[in-house]
Structure 1
Amino acid sequence: MPSILSTRLILVCCALAAVSIAQAQTAPPGASRAQQVLAERFARADADHDGRLTLAEAKTGMPRVAQHFDRLDTNHLGYLTLDQLQAELQAGLRRRQASRQ
């Protein structure tokens, strides 16, 4: 019969493994730190985990995205995908870089 300490250790290891797997699935390998942070925030904000961020989800989990939701929803589908937000992130970084030159 395993001890309580062994059981707790196993539970902690399982929890850490689950977090590692979840983080690995949110951002592609080689992604920039900004892309990784965006992917993590998107995953937390996407309450139903369908890969689509609705305005309601954005208001709760990503309020700055919610402020610009209509402009970002270029397909007018009522939701945003991580790919759309990452494309906007890259475009914003390019604009900032160009304005410095």
Structure 2
Amino acid sequence: MRKILVILAACAACVTPGAAFAQTATQPMGASPRVEHALVQLQSRFASANTTHDGKLTREQASAGMPMVAKHFDEIDTQKNGFVTLPQIEAFMHEHAAQR
């Protein structure tokens, strides 16, 4: 269930890219309450896992706070720079949701 909510959040974030960069949780217009909740949850989990508060998750931070991201870290880290960002995670989720 959690994976589905995360995927839905990623899809919603792709429709409203500004939401991914907001400091406070924003809700895309017309999104269902479940999608809105999932988006807020994704942003919150990313913020909690990002212990250095630099907008980047290392593999270690992902392992500690976002196990699904850690599991797919190499796929999400498309630039191969050793960290992932929230937009990269959302893009990965959107891509995998589209494949289903």
Q: Above 0.5 in TM-score?
A: yes
Structure 2 residue aligned with 1:54? 58
TM-score, normalising length: structure 1: 0.63
Rounded Cα–Cα distance in structure 1 between residues aligned with 2:98 and 2:54: 29
Listed one character per residue, the Cα deviations across residues 4-47 of structure 1 (whole Å, up to 9, x for unaligned) are: xxxxxxxxxxxxxxxxxxxx625444174333221111011001
**Structure holding more helix per residue:** 1
Question: What does residue range 58-69 of structure 1 map to in structure 2 within 5 Å?
Answer: 58-69=62-73
Query: Alignment identity in percent?
Result: 45
1:72 and 2:76 correspond: yes
Instruction: Write the letter of the residue equivalent to 1:45.
Output: A
TM-score, normalising length: structure 2: 0.63
- Alignment RMSD (CA, Å): 1.9
Higher radius of gyration, 1 or 2: 1
Unaligned runs of 5+ in 2: 1-21
Deviant stretches of 4+, over 3 Å: 26-29
Q: How many residues align structurally?
A: 73
Unaligned runs of 5+ in 1: 1-23, 97-101
